[in-house]
Amino acid sequence: MTNQVNPLGSGPDGGEALDLAGKHIVLGLSGGIACYKAAELCRALIKAGATVQVVMTEAAEQFITAVTLQALSGRPVYTSQWDSREDNNMAHINLSRESDAILVAPMSADFMAKLLHGRADDLLSLMCLARPIDKVPLLVAPAMNREMYAHPATQRNFVQLDADGATVLGVGSGFQACGETGDGRMLEPEQILEDLVAFFAPKVLAGQRVLVTAGPTYEAIDPVRGITNLSSGKMGFAIARAAREAGAEVTLVAGPVTQPTPRGVSRIDVRSAQQMLEAVSARAQAASVFVATAAVADWRPAAPSAQKIKKDGSGQAPQLAFTENPDILATVAQSAAAQAGRLFCVGFAAESQDLAENAEAKRLRKKVPLLVGNIGPDTFGQDHNALLLVDAQGSTALPRASKLSLARQLVREIAARMAAAPSQAKAAAP
């Protein structure tokens, strides 16, 4: 069978390529109630630009029909190794050779045990065994009851599966269809999609530890009021996701925002600038990249009231005194690790005009090798942005695009600078 091109291959506006454009995925279903989520997963893969060939075990067919998955994938589903639709009657060879990855979701405990022993008595296990191991990666999303998940045999099998070169995507935790609560739920389709996209991303930051600040800070006036700003955190969260996709170990220090945590990113929630500084300081020495996207409040009330400040009937507004907040980026850029060139610091500047001049001035003031300028009113709260990268060599414009696309480009730019001149991590040269 020849590969069809997914008509959604480029973005809805015809601009940015979709995350899985050009990828052909075999989606394998083994038997488990999580098969109901495989329908959503199939849809999500298609929407992300992939073409999908569904293969189901006999047990999977007890939970969901091939008709549903054929309708969603736009291709006939394969369920048997004896399928005579293939001219040479070798579906296991043909279907595995043309795929960019085999994704088994859900993977039952029984199916995993089968993989472990190299058994091949149904089409899906046959394909997993027959695939060229160095060309067609195998990713698995386990789904099983919590006791089955915790069983030593299952845990032993995970270790062996990993050693055999499969990528085990992990499981979710919570309420299970059997009525019990614990580990073993299949990841949600969006989470599996995020992991699959990350799997294919070039690992330009492999081995790096990236620390990112994001979102606004909140500076308390009294227990119910405070000073904050409209930063959504979207840019910083996108950078954390892109850095993880690029193979880095990522810690995200977030002010009060409602963004979902990117997969595989360790998140620390803080409120005030001082808390953000503490969280960052504790981790900066172990990091190799620091990206400060947070919109940190410049000032905080000098003496927040322990009680709610009430109107006293005089018509007089309360007098608030302010203290300047620490500059987290400048502090980290002065640290021993940054000065020694072990920590590459990246700052952001939200300007309203004269982007290049203001960004360069800020780069020198904060003593960082790379400063990323953007026009504040054009980006706050939005999904799109345009960036101007300013370093000692000059400036590079990244035209308007989604924040995730820009974050991926920025990650590549950071990796290129670190690879080209590790000493660039030192304080900015004028």
Q: Which is nearer to ligand C5P, 154 or 396 (CB)?
A: 396
Tokens describing residue 306: 């322990």
State how far the Cα of 386 lies from the Cα of 372, in Å rounded to an integer: 10
Span from 75-83, 176-184, 320-328, 412-420 in contact with ligand C5P (CB under 6 A): 320-328
State how far the Cα of 383 lies from the Cα of 129, in Å rounded to an integer: 42
Interaction pattern, residues 13-52, with ligand C5P; x per rule: CB under 6 A = ----------------------------------------
Span from 141-149, 254-262, 319-327, 375-383 in contact with ligand C5P (CB under 6 A): 319-327
Closest approach of Cβ 38 to ligand C5P, in Å?
41
Among 205, 235, 338, 349, binds ligand C5P (CB under 6 A): 349
What value does the CA radius of gyration of the chain take, rounded to a whole number of Å? 25
Residue 392 gets the label, from left (phi > 0), alpha (psi -120 to 50) or beta, of: alpha
Q: Which is nearer to ligand C5P, 213 or 385 (CB)?
A: 213
Contact between 329 and 347 under an 8 Å Cβ cutoff? The reply is yes
Burial 158-181 (b: 16+ CB within 10 A, else e): beebeeeebbbbbbbeeebeeeee
Closest approach of Cβ 420 to ligand C5P, in Å?
22
Closest approach of Cβ 349 to ligand C5P, in Å?
5
Among 19, 249, 327, 413, binds ligand C5P (CB under 6 A): 327
Q: Which is nearer to ligand C5P, 211 or 328 (CB)?
A: 328
Closest approach of Cβ 402 to ligand C5P, in Å?
21
Q: Which is nearer to ligand C5P, 27 or 292 (CB)?
A: 292
The torsion angle over the Cα atoms of residues 210, 213, 215 and 217, rounded to 10 degrees, is 160
Report strand pairing: 266-269 vs 249-254: parallel
Q: Which is nearer to ligand C5P, 72 or 292 (CB)?
A: 292
Closest approach of Cβ 263 to ligand C5P, in Å?
24
Closest approach of Cβ 130 to ligand C5P, in Å?
51
Q: Which is nearer to ligand C5P, 198 or 289 (CB)?
A: 289
Residues 6 or more apart in contact with residue 147 via CB below 8 angstroms = 180
Among 111, 290, 348, 380, binds ligand C5P (CB under 6 A): 348
Q: Which is nearer to ligand C5P, 293 or 379 (CB)?
A: 293
Please name which of 55, 38, 36 lies closest in space to residue 193, comparing C-alpha atoms. Answer: 38
State how far the Cα of 172 lies from the Cα of 190, in Å rounded to an integer: 12
Closest approach of Cβ 329 to ligand C5P, in Å?
3
- The helix (H) or strand (E) run that includes residue 104 is strand 101-107
Tokens describing residue 410: 């920025």
Tokens describing residue 340: 């020694």
Report strand pairing: 370-375 vs 344-351: parallel
Q: What are the residue numbers of the active site? A: 178
Sheet arrangement for strand 101-107: 51-56, 24-29, 101-107, 138-142, 167-168
Interaction pattern, residues 257-296, with ligand C5P; x per rule: CB under 6 A = ----------------x------------------xxx-x
Span from 178-186, 347-355, 378-386, 416-424 in contact with ligand C5P (CB under 6 A): 347-355
Residues 6 or more apart in contact with residue 367 via CB below 8 angstroms = 330, 333, 334, 427, 428
Binding site for ligand C5P (CB under 6 A): 213, 273, 292-294, 296, 325-329, 347-349, 362
